[in-house]
Homo-oligomer: A and B are copies of this chain.
Amino acid sequence: MAGFVTDMGGNIVEAEQHTDTHDGMFFQRVEFTTDAVTVADDELGGCFAPVAERFAMDAQLRFTEWRPRTAILVSKPPHCLADLLARAHTGELDIDVGQVIANQPDNESLARVFGVPFHHMPVEDGDRAAQEAAVDERLAADGTELVVLARYMLILSPWFVDRWAGRLINIHHSFLPAFVGASPYRQAHDRGVKVIGATAHYVTAGLDEGPIIEQDVTRVSHRDDVATLTRRGRDLEVIVLARALRAHLSHRILVWGNRTIVFGS
């Protein structure tokens, strides 16, 4: 890998590898400059193909300037949406938010504040399939490259999840695998746990079962009722989602089975 980069005129900025001895796999991320690389960006992948073949590598080439067209899906709670929009506005997160899609009307003014189109797309007459198809269409129409479920409370169908696989990130308000599904803070309270958490993960067909990107927790006590857990958890959700997105945006995540390698973490 190092030889290839040097030969092309690149300069390695950062390199990290990981060996999974259990599965006998080797993972590597190499970031290099392309200023002095003479071949065109879109030819670089082709140049690497022989190297990848020689070592039976599964290789991907990505560019660091990437600023993906992003859609944020949300229900009622505004905190993750507000945080993402603020981070996108200040440049803290390098995403181009094309639209906010919501099955509830509540967050319209928040999206408008940041000048982002807001589409209220409720489930009508209980027809979830129709709503989902409409959402999918709208995502496609906007050239969406990344979908963030920022407290979107509808469960997505397998076909939808497959179509957006690897580009669909959810924030769940518990330290998974504890408290899958609805009302995790209520579940946490009833179980009497002394820590609560949040988990950002790629969405797969199994509910809250996709590869975990990032988790964090905070201590709680018997003094914290469900409302307090919910309020304290909001800060966790926001931070965990932002960290996960940052790792995704800088191409630091490799998914292997149901696990992630997050380089630089």
Contact = CB atoms under 8 A, between A and B. Distances in A.
Contacts of A113: 89, 113-115
A194 B214 contact: yes
25 contacts: A14-B19, A21-B225, A78-B90, A82-B86, A82-B89, A86-B86, A89-B110, A89-B113, A90-B110, A92-B234, A113-B113, A175-B217, A176-B193, A177-B178, A177-B179, A177-B191, A190-B258, A193-B212, A193-B215, A194-B262, A195-B216, A197-B217, A216-B219, A222-B261, A222-B262
A24 interface: no
Interface in A159-213: 175-179, 190-195, 197, 211-213
A22 interface: yes
A213 to B, nearest CB: 8
A217 B217 CA distance: 8
Given A191-B258, A194-B212, A219-B219, 13 more contacts: A20-B225, A21-B225, A22-B226, A82-B90, A86-B86, A92-B234, A176-B191, A178-B178, A191-B259, A192-B258, A193-B215, A197-B217, A235-B239
A102 to B, nearest CB: 14
Interface in A109-131: 110, 113-115
